[in-house]
A and B are shown apart, each in its own frame.
Chain A
Amino acid sequence: MFNIRFVRQLIAAFVGVTLVVASVQQAHAQGVTDKLVKIGAYNALTGPIPVTGKQMSAGWNAAISAANDGGGVNGRKLELIIEDDGYEPSRAMAAARKLVERDQVLVMTGLGTPTTVVAARYLEQAKVPLLFPMGASSTQLNQAGLKQLFMAHPAYLTQADIIVGWMIDNAASKKPCLIYQVDPSGEDHFAGAKKAVAARKMELAAAETFERGTSDFSAQVLKMKNAGCDFVYTATPLETSARVVTAADRISFKPKYAGFTTQADATLIKLLGPLAEGFYAADMMPRPDGDDPAIKTYLANMKKYSPDVDPTFFTAYAYSAMQLVIEAIKEAGPQPTREKIIAALEKWNPKQSPMMGPVVFTPNDHDGKRSLYMIQVKGGMWSKASDWIVSK
């Protein structure tokens, strides 16, 4: 039988151990241990845009591996946990919940506008920073006034405004048109295009729509041809843009084309061949064939850590976005917390990203990137077509 004294000692020991464990847990925020910081990402590894998903993973992983080989952040290694969402909003929500509640990540990132619109709302409630996801509906998210979301990819509304405006002013478009997907990103592009033409006292000659997963665009291009469009803004995924151009070519419809940042990629030239000639796109990072030292380091790290994936716009964006995530964690100090990370980010006014140029955040404005430049396919390669254009 136990005597009273022994039981008291046992209870005291239990309480002591519990207090020690609790104090250790309080010393580290969720997602942070003595040796590790966990970062979560929802990503479309299956579904309609798996190529993009694979490229995003490769870029994120290259940046994480390079940082870890350089000693990590404040003595801790970084661990990236990626969950597939198939580009489905409901699965993105489940992926974000799993990463936060089960994997206990410190911060999140991700890919996809429809998925980010849903995941961002959950992460706002859970008070988990969502840093620099690729694609998001600025219209929807700004209306929601999200404090946890920080954007480094120019909003689609901003992009459409810049690109359509530039094509009217510089490519002599008199009858601008667009084709867009019926989802939050498409609505943003449509709003931006309308803003650009309204500022020039013009109207869109046609605005054609399609559902996600559509594979034939003959009806859309015929309507744009009948409307007399001389320029088509392809506010669509990259593969879809290629399908639109080939469908138009089949009925001898040959307008000028311009796409947004996701189309500033060698894949478009590979898919379209000679039909890509003259295609315009917006870009936000130095060209991979330039002499920029940051680009050379990025290409070397891609070759070293993600050798099975060719560098593209998406790998470059993911790599440089993850560099910014790592910088934010570093600036949050030796004991990083979510609150400290947000405080550090809101002082980036501006922060010079090695590859993206200046990124600006304030407590009231988390839309950090508002400048682009135009490129064009010439002789089977992308060439610079403008200087930086800043949205007004």
Chain B
Amino acid sequence: MDQAVINGLAEGSVYALLALGLVFINRITEIATFAHGEVSALAAFVGFTVFHSLHAPFAVALIVSIMAGAVIGFLVERIVIRPVQTSGPLATVVVTLGLFFVIHGLVKLIWGPDVRPYPSIFGEGTIRFGETAIAAQHLGVLATAFVIAMGLAAYLRWTRTGLALRAIPQNRFGAALIGLNLRRLTSTAWIVGSAVGAVAGVLIAPLTFLQPNMMQSPIIKAFAVAALGGMNSLVGAFVGGLVLGVIENVTVLYIPTYLKDTIAFLFILIVLLLQPEGLFGKQRKEKV
């Protein structure tokens, strides 16, 4: 049981890390981007090329990956999202879904379908707590997800840009009226969210191996975690990821393991039926 809980925290931290960028972008722009996982994978591939083909130190590759994520986020917002932003939620959903396939195809075209080992910034070791063990990589992902969740929450709460970013979803018209540059702020949200996605890509690749399909399973769980945590809550994404990881890993001790995903989504369904705004989401009330 103890090891199952540790496994759950480890797996949940992967969901949480990927969900953080997703939730950050959604919180500011109200767009849930289906392309987030592919942006993360693309950034990880860029880092791989810098590390392997250009023989740069891994720290340099990591920085280049994060910068690549930021640039991709900027380009996505500027070229793809901005023209359809006022066309309603369905248009943006379709556009991000289309972007998913475009980036996925691009990665396959450039790097091919091969599966490759990916270096780990935290090393290959295992850390033991009595009878239980956790990989250094998983512990690193957990710590990184925690630091990013807290850092982004602090950024939104205590900086001028953060305050401006928070104003956008509350009242776009009002925010524009008081002189906030909505375009620049929306662009900032995509840049920061995609850079966080790049960190997720680089840290998840050693666990899944580097391949074009590496994010297809984790991104579904990241969406689920985002919904569980409350779609707009960074702390919710972090805690939601850990809760989901533990629930599914402990439950499958007693049932066939292929039902793991079924259990995960059953749990989310029950939570959302009881609390539609998620564990940490704020209920929106509209006067009619």
Contacts and interface: CB of A to CB of B under 8 A. Distances in A.
Interface of A: 45-48, 50-51, 53-54, 182, 208-211, 213-216, 218-220, 222-223, 225-226, 239, 242-243, 246, 249-252, 267, 270-271, 273
Given A218-B249, A220-B257, A252-B128, 8 more contacts: A50-B108, A50-B113, A210-B258, A210-B260, A219-B4, A222-B253, A239-B211, A252-B133
B133 A208 contact: no
A239 B115 contact: yes
B258 A218 contact: no
A250 B125 CA distance: 8
Contacts of A208: 257
Interface in B144-201: none
The CB with the most chain A CB atoms within 10 A, among B115, B126, B248, is that of B115
What DSSP secondary structure best describes chain A's contact surface?
helix
Contact of B133 (A209, A216, A226, A251): A251
Interface stretch (B7-15, B58-66, B69-77, B80-88): B7-15
A267 B209 CA distance: 12
Interface stretch (B21-29, B212-220, B229-237, B271-279): B212-220
Contact of A215 (B117, B133, B208, B257): B208
B114 interface: yes
Interface of B: 3-4, 7, 10-11, 14, 108, 112-117, 126, 128, 132-135, 138, 207-209, 211-214, 216-218, 248-249, 252-253, 256-258, 260-261
B209 A50 contact: no
A138 B211 CA distance: 31
A216 B135 CA distance: 13
A223 B253 contact: yes
18 contacts: A45-B113, A48-B213, A50-B113, A51-B113, A51-B211, A208-B257, A214-B217, A214-B261, A215-B217, A222-B3, A222-B249, A223-B257, A239-B115, A250-B138, A251-B133, A252-B126, A270-B116, A271-B115
Contact of A222 (B4, B208, B218): B4
B76 to A, nearest CB: 23
A12 B143 CA distance: 87
A250 B258 contact: no
B249 A271 contact: no
B211 A211 contact: no
Contacts of A182: 258
B7 A222 contact: yes
A219 B248 contact: yes
Nearest 4 pairs of A and B residues by beta carbon? A50-B113, A209-B258, A218-B7, A250-B135
A47 B209 CA distance: 16
A219 B7 contact: yes
Nearest to B253: A223
Contacts of A246: 207
Nearest to B214: A215
Contacts of A273: 117
Nearest to B127: A250
A267 to B, nearest CB: 7
Contacts of B112: 54
Contact of A209 (B4, B10, B211, B257): B257
Given A218-B11, A270-B117, A50 B258 contact: no
A267 B115 contact: yes
A48 B213 CA distance: 7
Nearest to B112: A54
A250 B217 contact: no
A251 B209 contact: no
A269 B253 CA distance: 31
B249 A219 contact: yes
B258 A251 contact: no
Given A209-B256, A273-B117, A250 B126 contact: yes
Nearest to A221: B7
A217 to B, nearest CB: 9
Contacts of B212: 50
A14 B215 CA distance: 62
Contact of B114 (A51, A213, A215, A243): A51
A219 B257 contact: yes
Contacts of B260: 210, 214, 219
A251 B113 contact: no
A222 B211 CA distance: 25
